[in-house]
């Protein structure tokens, strides 16, 4: 089973006798919000038109806890997350497909959380809503209550200490834009730069101009060039555990398991005692 699904495959499944649960997780990182401008309203976008049957999921409220010491998008309370997923109709025995506005970051965050907490069949719509060629609906879906009970996995999650160690013993990939990694700009967090030993690997380079993931073989070649081999332990971080989930998804498409440091740079950089590297050199 692949971690992604095409729009044509999704259309076939939705027309079948056992359609997947469909989650709309439209969200955007808003630097304008940090400057006081209105944030992107995913619920309003959903109300204006969504794939028929999709249920809206709020990334900030249902896929993350409130910002704090553990970053801007820390792990949600798992009981609350489970309740939100059940309200959305998610059950352990029914496939789930997640989509967003096309960037893939928010959908990947939902995919990662559901997968890490034990759902066996979750996929992301490749290239998101823009790839959908069918009609859209403005009717809010009200699904039957699901039965999904999240159980966190024993692997797949890093904390700050684990990320620091992995940067020395394996490969820790920094999914942010290169200029943030190098510390040339930092529009959101306290200081720019990267975790010492981390390798710059912008997640935007995992997709083509159409927003679709590169073929698995090309992704494997990319990650190999960044130091990932068959026996390498791999971790990923970003600004707050959202775009990093997209890189974990790209690695999964390539057949490479990876852990996510959810707190990411927003947590790491908030503690002045943690070391910060700048420039193109991982060290």
In order along its 283 residues, the chain shows pLDDT tens digits of: 689 999 999 999 999 999 999 999 999 876 555 566 677 899 999 999 999 999 999 999 999 999 999 999 999 999 999 999 999 999 999 999 999 999 999 999 999 999 999 999 999 999 999 999 999 999 999 999 999 999 999 899 999 999 999 999 999 999 999 999 999 999 999 999 999 999 999 999 999 999 999 999 999 999 999 999 989 999 999 999 999 999 999 999 999 999 999 999 999 999 999 999 999 999 9
The pair of three-digit structure tokens given for residue 178, joined into one six-digit string: 């290169």
Measured distance CA(238)–CA(246) in Å, rounded = 10
Which residues are identified as catalytic?
A: 238
Backbone angles phi, psi at 24, to 5 degrees: -100, 115
Measured distance CA(109)–CA(99) in Å, rounded = 10
Predicted pLDDT at 35: 61
Global model pTM greater than 0.85: yes
């Amino acid at each position: 089973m692949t971690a992604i699904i095409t729009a044509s495959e999704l259309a076939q499944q939705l027309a079948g006798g056992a359609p997947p649960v469909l989650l709309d997780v439209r969200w955007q990182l808003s630097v304008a919000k940090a400057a006081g401008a209105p944030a992107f309203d995913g619920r309003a976008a959903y109300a204006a038109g969504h794939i028929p049957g999709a249920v809206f999921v709020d990334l900030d409220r249902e896929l993350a806890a409130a910002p704090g010491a553990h970053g801007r998008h820390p792990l949600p309370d798992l009981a609350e997350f489970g309740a939100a997923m059940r309200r959305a109709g998610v059950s352990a025995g029914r496939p789930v497909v997640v989509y967003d506005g096309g960037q893939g970051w928010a959908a990947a965050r939902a995919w990662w959380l559901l997968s890490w907490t034990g759902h066996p069949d979750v996929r992301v719509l490749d290239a998101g809503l823009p790839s959908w060629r069918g009609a859209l609906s403005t009717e809010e879906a009200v699904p039957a209550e699901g039965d999904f009970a999240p159980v966190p996995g024993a692997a797949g999650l890093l904390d700050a200490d684990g990320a620091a160690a992995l940067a020395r013993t394996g490969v820790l990939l920094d999914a942010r834009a290169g200029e943030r990694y190098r510390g040339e700009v930092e529009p959101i967090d306290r200081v720019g730069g990267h975790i010492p030993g981390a390798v710059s690997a912008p997640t935007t380079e995992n997709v083509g101009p159409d927003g679709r993931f590169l073929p698995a073989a090309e992704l494997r070649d990319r990650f190999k060039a960044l130091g990932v081999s068959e026996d390498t332990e791999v971790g990923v971080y970003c600004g707050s555990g959202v775009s990093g989930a997209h890189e974990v998804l790209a690695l999964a498409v390539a057949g490479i398991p990876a852990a996510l440091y959810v707190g990411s740079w927003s947590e790491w950089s908030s503690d002045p005692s943690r070391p910060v590297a700048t420039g193109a050199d991982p060290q």
